[in-house]
Chain A
Amino acid sequence: MTTVQQQETLALNGDEAVALAAKQSDVDVVAAYPITPQTIIVERFSEYVADGEVETEFVCTESEHSALTACLAASATGVRTFTATASAGLALMHEILYVTSGCRAPVVMAITNRALSAPINIHCDHSDSMAERDSSWIQLYVENSQEAYDTIIQAFRIAEHTKVLLPIMVCLDAFFLSHTLENVKTLPDKKVKDFVGTRQIPLVMGHEGKKVPFKLDPKNPITIGPLALQDYYFEHKRQQEEAMRNASGIISEINDLYSQLSGRKYGNGLTDPYFLEDADIATICVGSTAGTTKYVVDNLRSRGIKAGLLRLRTLRPLPTSDIVSALASTKAVAVMDRSHSFGGYGGPLFHEIRHVLYDTQPHPHVVNYIYGLGGRDMPQNDIQDIYIDLQKIQQNNAVENYVNFVRVRE
């Protein structure tokens, strides 16, 4: 048991907190496309490189597609790799997201959640990362800049864990977090470096019939991710599913270990329940909206209303049993989606939560609120209105509208 480390409080925006965490995590290679929709994350990191504060190889590429390709290639040689993107940049990486996870390259990528065009919009919206839900990347969503800092540090250990070896997206809300100054407690460089440690390389069976390190190395040549057709492709995908299942435990374990160092803990690493033990009504969300919602829950609780919040920190792997147990006492829950599946039945989080609750008996009424697209504010009054709707659903034991659009003008 280590004692909690003395820490320095700095005024940082979310981008700077992420850049500092990456710097302290002793990253070997950063590749990025530096133009809109890029954020201050790689801008700040390039300054560390220019000022000689890090020994990182910084590769300025001609597109996000190339940036992630460079990260994948670097990661395949066994080094620690980081990048950041947002919105259209993530969309352009789509093809290589699958190559990265398929090659089991533990790249850590910060995603500043921004809307997708058209119309052009650079503000907070989860459409970019939700669209990449099925790419076999671990997805962690943070509530504030402090958590962004902490989660980037944890992400390297999770991704590089030899039972996981999957890339990670650490998603933070654009502007609400990325461009807003916040007090962030930061650990000493050495403590972070020691916590993250050096990347462990497992052994794999190579083509010469002997076990060799799983990295591209001229001394022990291997081929990573070539052709696998009808006979073997499926087996490789099943391996990725297993790695995701392993990741659940590892995320929790590293959340615990990190709390011993920093004194900060985010639920069990997967879900972050707030006043759910006896809650009748609850909302479910990811990201910074949870902060405002906690304030609303506090107010409702002070008036004797049994309200709660389930913040999902990990979307992939989906913490199914934690979601079921966290919502066990609820009668009506509202899933809040900052993105939408057009023509579907509500937003992506709604699909996940409703699906997970299907087998529980009795299960609560589950309704959906699409909110804040393109960065529109989600003030406390609007969140409180959702809880009032939930009270009505609980009282009437009936739902009027399953899918609702918050404050959209007609």
Chain B
Amino acid sequence: MSERKKGWKEIPVGGVCWKPATEYSTGDWRTFKPVHDSEKCTKCLLCPIICPDASINWNTATQDIEFNYNFCKGCGICANECPANAIEMVREGEA
């Protein structure tokens, strides 16, 4: 977040977005981050469906789920709903 912010003379009028949402990392709003235990995980793939920010993906190479921490806001729904209790919410900076 150290990028220089633009001034009123530089930004488009009417609040038009000048960069795509993919460049605006909402992940830094997060206080707790989800960490998953691959051993406990049954690969049921419920979490990619219920994530409200589409921040859990299936990685075909590792054959496992992975979190996109650039956009995960740490809401904790995945940890709450995981039927195998394989996701834990850990305070940022502590893991």
Q: Tell me if B17 is interfacial: C-beta within 8 Å of chain A.
A: yes
Q: Tell me if A12 is interfacial: C-beta within 8 Å of chain B.
A: no
Q: Tell me if A292 is interfacial: C-beta within 8 Å of chain B.
A: no
- The complex places the Cα of A104 from the Cα of B11 at a distance, in Å, of 14
Q: Is the CB of B19 within 8 A of A225?
A: no
Residues of B within 8 A of A243 (CB): 13
Residues of A within 8 A of B19 (CB): 207, 209
Q: How many A-B residue pairs have CB under 8 A?
A: 64
Interface string of A157-180 (1 = CB under 8 A from B): 000000001000000000000000
Q: Is the CB of A205 within 8 A of B13?
A: no
A161 to chain B, nearest CB (A): 13
Q: Which residue of B lies closest to A76 (CB)?
A: B14
Q: Pick the contact of A242: B8, B12, B18 (CB < 8 A).
A: B8
Q: Is the CB of A206 within 8 A of B17?
A: yes
Residues of B within 8 A of A242 (CB): 8
Q: Is the CB of A206 within 8 A of B16?
A: yes
A202 to chain B, nearest CB (A): 8
Q: Is the CB of B7 within 8 A of A235?
A: yes
Q: Pick the contact of B11: A103, A165, A207, A239 (CB < 8 A).
A: A239
Given contacts A231-B5, A235-B8, A239-B8, whether A226 and B15 have CB atoms under 8 Å apart is: yes
Q: Which residue of B lies closest to A240 (CB)?
A: B13
Q: Tell me if A232 is interfacial: C-beta within 8 Å of chain B.
A: yes
Q: Is the CB of A235 within 8 A of B11?
A: yes
Q: Is the CB of B17 within 8 A of A207?
A: yes
Q: Tell me if A10 is interfacial: C-beta within 8 Å of chain B.
A: no
Residues of A within 8 A of B15 (CB): 102-103, 223-226, 228, 236
Given contacts A231-B5, A232-B5, A235-B7, whether A204 and B12 have CB atoms under 8 Å apart is: yes
Residues of B within 8 A of A224 (CB): 14-16
- The complex places the Cα of A160 from the Cα of B7 at a distance, in Å, of 24
Q: Tell me if A222 is interfacial: C-beta within 8 Å of chain B.
A: yes
Q: Tell me if A387 is interfacial: C-beta within 8 Å of chain B.
A: no
- The complex places the Cα of A204 from the Cα of B15 at a distance, in Å, of 10
Q: Is the CB of A204 within 8 A of B7?
A: no
Residues of A within 8 A of B5 (CB): 231-232
- The complex places the Cα of A41 from the Cα of B18 at a distance, in Å, of 39
Q: Pick the contact of A205: B7, B8, B16, B21 (CB < 8 A).
A: B16
> Which of A103, A205, A226 has the most chain B CB atoms inside 10 A of its CB?
A205
Residues of B within 8 A of A238 (CB): 8
A239 to chain B, nearest CB (A): 5
Q: Pick the contact of B13: A208, A231, A239 (CB < 8 A).
A: A239
Q: Which residue of A lies closest to B15 (CB)?
A: A225
Q: Tell me if B6 is interfacial: C-beta within 8 Å of chain A.
A: yes
Q: Pick the contact of A226: B6, B7, B8, B17 (CB < 8 A).
A: B17
Q: Is the CB of B13 within 8 A of A204?
A: yes
Q: Is the CB of A205 within 8 A of B12?
A: yes
Q: Tell me if A214 is interfacial: C-beta within 8 Å of chain B.
A: yes
A177 to chain B, nearest CB (A): 33
Q: Tell me if B20 is interfacial: C-beta within 8 Å of chain A.
A: yes
Interface string of A93-112 (1 = CB under 8 A from B): 00000000011110000000
- The complex places the Cα of A321 from the Cα of B1 at a distance, in Å, of 43
Given contacts A207-B19, A208-B20, A209-B19, whether A214 and B8 have CB atoms under 8 Å apart is: no
A25 to chain B, nearest CB (A): 23
Q: Is the CB of B8 within 8 A of A102?
A: no
A218 to chain B, nearest CB (A): 16
A193 to chain B, nearest CB (A): 27
Q: Is the CB of A214 within 8 A of B16?
A: yes
Residues of A within 8 A of B16 (CB): 204-206, 214, 222-224
Interface residues of A (CB under 8 A from B): 102-105, 165, 202, 204-209, 214, 222-226, 228, 231-232, 235-236, 238-239, 242-243
Q: List the 8 shortest-distance A-B pairs measured between CB atoms, nearest first.
A: A204-B12, A104-B14, A235-B8, A238-B8, A225-B15, A205-B18, A207-B17, A223-B17
